[in-house]
Amino acid sequence: MWKDLLVERRSKETLNALFFFGLLLLFVFQFALGPDRERLAGTLPGLLWLGFILSGLLGLGRTFVAERENDCWEGLVLAPGDKSAIYVGKLAGNLLLMLVIEAILLALFAFFFNLDLAGALPGLGVVIALGTVALAAVGTLFAAMTAQVRARELLFPVLLLPVEAPVLLATVKATEAVLLGEPLGSVAHWLKLLAAADVVYVAVGVLTFDFVLEA
Amino acid sequence: MRRLLGSVTVAGLVAGLVMAFGVAPREETQGNVQRIMYLHVPSVWVAYLAFAVVLVCSVVYLVRRAEGADQLAHASAEVGVLFTGITIATGSIWGRPTWGTWWTWDARLTTVSILFVMYLGYLLLRGMIEDRERGARFAAVLGIIAAFNIPLVHFSVIWWRTLHQPPSLMKPGGAAMPDIIRYALFVNFAAFTLLYAYFVIRRARVLRLEAEADA
């Protein structure tokens, strides 16, 4: 993991591109929906998570690109000891990357849509953290599965999006409530669902990663 | 044995048709449209049964590495997707005269359609990986995560919205339908379960022969 983060910090390749991508997404949303502020405000939670998941698809899909391009895949496969350590490391790296991207996207949204986030920030942080763990946990697993497939750019989102459907529903609904200034208690059922999803996804990921990285 | 199962299945389906169209009375409020239930409800039962079998066979495959388990999982997923499709189609045909629309984002419609795309992704993954053994491993991992996802999808979608009539068969305190309709439904349940078993056995056999031919 430290190696991945180090490479990322040195090159800033993914981060820069994803930042630019997020900015472009914002423009596209604005163009698609027109300048009507009220309509934009109503769709904001959905747009926000659409932005998160689209940049997540790009970022997570690249999890194992370095290994594949530099012919280190065998190194991963042959690594001694528990493969789940590799999974946890990759997951932590992806989490960090996505959280940085999401923070930047959130700031951009606040800037362009004239949002006052100060009050909603703690609640929003909880929702985003829970949702991001669920996204990254499945994303990291699927990225490893699709890394060796020819049409991986296509297969990765096609596999990930349906599985993440409940996470998306939960995060969008919870974000909506938090942005309206409601207390977190009012969306406790969504938060519990997200927490359950986090536990299930990470557990399945840790337990099955061994089988994904077999020779 | 296979032949016998096939004959029994055909007899069961005929009996189901007789019960649905001959014995069961016309429903008072919905009229003959209601009779599509005898196809719709058993189909969704078979779909869930099929996905449960995928889960069990996937776990067995990862633990034991028995190719038979993998072939069963593959066959079961195909049949499950087929019956999910039948469920959506028949529900849509029923919804048009009853709800006045082909499609609506009601809770259970959404759940079933998410399952549909999730397991379509499963079949897609299988189709895209050339290496048989690797494909089996990855598909098993996906089969497990998809099955664990079903309850998450279920609850998230229920909280999201609901319009579908509450289940009338499994309600505590007895089913809210006349006995004769219930018998007709149960005959169809049995017939469809046999049909499922027949399809899966035949399909798994074809997969085994294909594997042998390749080897």
Going by pLDDT thresholds of 50, 70 and 90, the confidence category of residue B169 is: low
Q: What is the DSSP letter of B20?
A: I
Mean pLDDT of B55-71: 92
What is the biggest distance separating any 2 CA atoms in chain B, rounded to whole angstroms?
59
A36, A187, B50, B156 from B159: Cα distances, Å: 29, 11, 26, 5
Residue A179, sorted as left (phi over 0), alpha (psi -120 to 50) or beta, turns out to be alpha
Q: What string of H, E and C letters represents the secondary structure of B59-128?
A: HHHHHHCCHHHHHHHHHHHHHHHHHHHHHHHHHHHHHHHHHCCCCCCCHHHHHHHHHHHHHHHHHHHHHH
Going by pLDDT thresholds of 50, 70 and 90, the confidence category of residue B111 is: confident
Listing DSSP states for A75-112 in one string gives: HHHH--S-THHHHHHHHHHHHHHHHHHHHHHHHHHHHH
Distance from CA of B117 to the nearest CA of A (A): 6
Percent of chain A beyond pLDDT 90?
22
Check CB contact under 8 Å for A165 and B153: yes
Q: Check whether B71 has a pLDDT greater than 90.
A: yes
Mean pLDDT of chain B: 84
Q: Check whether B117 has a pLDDT greater than 80.
A: yes
Which residue has better confidence, A135 or A215?
Answer: A135
Here the ipTM equals 0.82
Find which of A163, A189, A212 to mutate to test the B interface (most B CBs within 10 Å of its CB).
Answer: A163
Q: For residues A132 and A52, what is the distance between their CA atoms, to the nearest angstrom? A: 9
Distance from CA of B58 to the nearest CA of A (A): 11
Domain that holds residue A113: 2-212
The residue of chain A with its CA nearest to that of B131 is A149
Number of structural domains found in chain A: 1
Check CB contact under 8 Å for A196 and B146: no
**Minimal Cβ distance to A158: which of B124, B155, B159:** B124
The reply to whether B125 touches chain A by the CB within 8 Å rule is yes
Q: For residues A194 and A202, what is the distance between their CA atoms, to the nearest angstrom? A: 12
Q: For residues B78 and B47, what is the distance between their CA atoms, to the nearest angstrom? A: 10
Q: Measure CA A105 to chain center.
A: 12
Q: For residues B139 and A127, what is the distance between their CA atoms, to the nearest angstrom? A: 31
Instruction: Using CB atoms within 10 Å of the CB of residue B3, give its burial: 0 to 12 exposed, 13 to 18 middle, 19+ buried.
Output: exposed
Q: Domain residue spans in chain B?
A: 2-24+35-166+174-214
State the pTM of this model.
0.84
- pLDDT, tens only, B5-20: 888 888 888 888 887 7
Which residue has better confidence, B29 or A130?
Answer: A130
Residues on chain B touching A214 (C-beta within 8 angstroms): 134, 137
